[in-house]
Amino acid sequence: MFTVTRSRIAAAASRLSSPLPIDSYLRLIDPLWSPTAGRTTTGPVIRGRIEAIVPETSRAATIVIKPGTGWTPHTPGQWVRLGLDIDGVRHQRCYSLTSVPNPADGCIRITVQAIADGTVSNHLVRTARPGTIVHLSPPDGDFVLPSAPLPPLLFVTGGSGITPVMGMLRTLADGPGIADAVVLHHAPTAEEAIFATELAALADRTPGLRVLTAITGPGAPPPDARVTEARLDRDCPDWRQREVWACGPAPMLADAEATWATADLTHSLHLERFRPSYAPAGEPGAGGHVRFVTSGTATMANGGTPLLEVAEAAGLTPAHGCRMGICHGCTTTLVAGCVRDLRDGHLTNEEGVLVQICVSAAAGDVELAL
């Protein structure tokens, strides 16, 4: 008596299905099946299909995705790395999950706000259609609530920073309930306040939830909308006794850090930053701090040294070939930051694109998948 695993069947079938791998045939039957689901690799390992795109505001939409083989339920507040092919190029971005962990329809949800010059965000909000296949990483992130019983909660959010918090609130509302929570949200206009209607309805039927939205307008927020002690004393007098989760624009988070530090309460402040704060792209010759994410190695680089040489000087052995930008053997994913092509001075700062590190140098701070 023995057990034949699916992987063994697939391996045997692969030998019989030459010249194409069995995966090519299986995807004709089930486009969401992946033989690498659940493995840790340098790329997405789970396939998903967009089922619906639901507008939230004039520039934000919720993307409903049916995940395929290998998806495991997330913890509210976590994010997923989404890979999307646009014009033959695969782009990757991280988005917070706004759905509950085990939705009845089996679909996960992310809510995306289109940003200026945002290739992926604009495509998802304005161009993508149901049926589009995407690539998903397993859920990740530690911006999550502690185990029950929960302390009194305060959420400080701005713009699309409401998305991980919405996942938390929906999960609490569907499960143990919301005993004591305050949401201080910030949006440039009332029309751009994501989930405004749902949050108002949730607060109306939930005695333990209070939602306040500050309209900040264009440019710098007015003084009474900044996250200061005076504002918190006015809108949430017991803020010092609450555990705080803050997510949103960098200036708002900087205010929060300063306020909680002044009150000697940094231990109760939990932050989620969608994008690290990088130095702006430099002029030719400007370098920056370089971090190689996979290896955990970090170093400084000037703006004239190829990043391949920077990596080698730091003790790494990246794959490479010609060292002249011809063979593409050294292409590496730009996780964040900006690089400059040493051949023509072209600047690249789009996260998730492949760059040739033998002919690219740091133009400000950089993170690479090495």
Q: Do the Cβ atoms of 273 and 253 come closer than 8 Å?
A: yes
Which CATH code fits 285-368? 3.10.20.30
Comparing C-alpha atoms, which of 248, 284, 274, 295 is closest to residue 351?
Answer: 274
What's residue 45's pLDDT?
64
CATH topology for the 31-136 domain: Elongation Factor Tu (Ef-tu); domain 3 (2.40.30)
Domain 153-272 has CATH 3.40.50.80: yes
- Residue ranges of the chain whose pLDDT lies below 70: 1-31, 33-45, 220, 274-285, 321-322, 324, 326-327
Q: From the CA atom positions of the chain, what is the Rg in Å? A: 23
What's residue 236's pLDDT?
97
Locus of tokens 């998730």: 352
Query: HEC profile for 126-185?
Result: HHCCCCCEEEECCCECCCCCCCCCCCCEEEEEEHHHHHHHHHHHHHHHHCCCCCCEEEEE
Q: Which residues contact 205 (CB under 8 A, 6 or more apart)?
A: none
What's residue 282's pLDDT?
41
What's residue 283's pLDDT?
45
What's residue 126's pLDDT?
95
What's residue 148's pLDDT?
81
Instruction: Please give the model's pTM, rounded to 2 decimal places.
Output: 0.69
What's residue 53's pLDDT?
98
Give yes or no for a cis peptide into 221 (omega within 30° of 0).
Answer: no
What's residue 20's pLDDT?
47
What's residue 17's pLDDT?
46
What's residue 275's pLDDT?
52
Domain boundaries, the chain: 1-30, 31-136, 153-272, 285-368
DSSP 36-64: TTT---SS--EEEEEEEEEEEETTEEEEE
Comparing C-alpha atoms, which of 159, 288, 276, 137 is closest to residue 214?
Answer: 159
Q: Do the Cβ atoms of 81 and 94 come closer than 8 Å?
A: yes
